[in-house]
Amino acid sequence: EVVWRVLQIDDYLIDFNRLLGETLQWSVAYAVCYIHSDAAHSGALLKVGSDDQAQVYLNGKLVYQSVNPRSHLADQDVVTGAVLKAGINVVVLKVVNEGNKWQGSVRFTDAAGRPLKRIRVTLDPERQDAPRPPPTKQPPSLGSNDGVESAAGSLSPDCLGRIFTILCNPFP
C-alpha cells in the first residue's frame, strides 16, 4: 500500500531501502517537509546528495536536478542562491532508484557552510507544534507544478520528513 509515512532521522540522510525494509529497483520516492523560517534567507546554499537521480523543489519551483545514476555522497551538489522566505517554505525531494542503494539528502547552509539559523522543520505548515499526523493516502498540499512536486528530507539532526513511495516500471 502506498501511503505517506512520518519519518524522524538522526541526520539528513534518508535511506529509502532501510525505511521500507527491502531493496527495491526502479522505484521513485518523495519526501516532503516544511521549513518555518523566522526571517528571509537569500543567498543560502542548498546541498544535495542522491543515489541515483534526484530533483528538489523549493516552494513549488524546481531548483535542482540530477539525471545521472550515481552513488550518494553527502553534499555532492551545491545550489547557490537558494532563497527561503520568511514563514513557511515547502521542500520536496524526489529520488529515483535505478538499482541497489536508494538514498537522498538535502540541507541548507549559509555561504560559509554553517547550518542556517532561525529555521524549524515541521510536517504541519499551519501549526509548527502540531502532533505528527497518521499515515494517509493523500499527499500534503504542494502547490501547482505539473502535479509532480515532492519532498525534502532532513535538514537538521532532529528533522522530521514525510516519505511517499511509489514503485515504477523501468524507464523507457
Best CA proximity match to 133, nearest among 58, 11, 33, 10: 33
Q: Kindly report whether the global pTM for this prediction surpasses the value 0.85.
A: no
Mean pLDDT, residues 37-66: 95
Least confident of 58-67, 113-122, 144-153: 144-153
Give the pLDDT score at 127: 64
56, pLDDT greater than 90: yes
Residue 97 · residue 8 · CB < 8 Å: no
**42 exposed, middle or buried (CB, 10 Å; 0-12, 13-18, 19+)?**
exposed
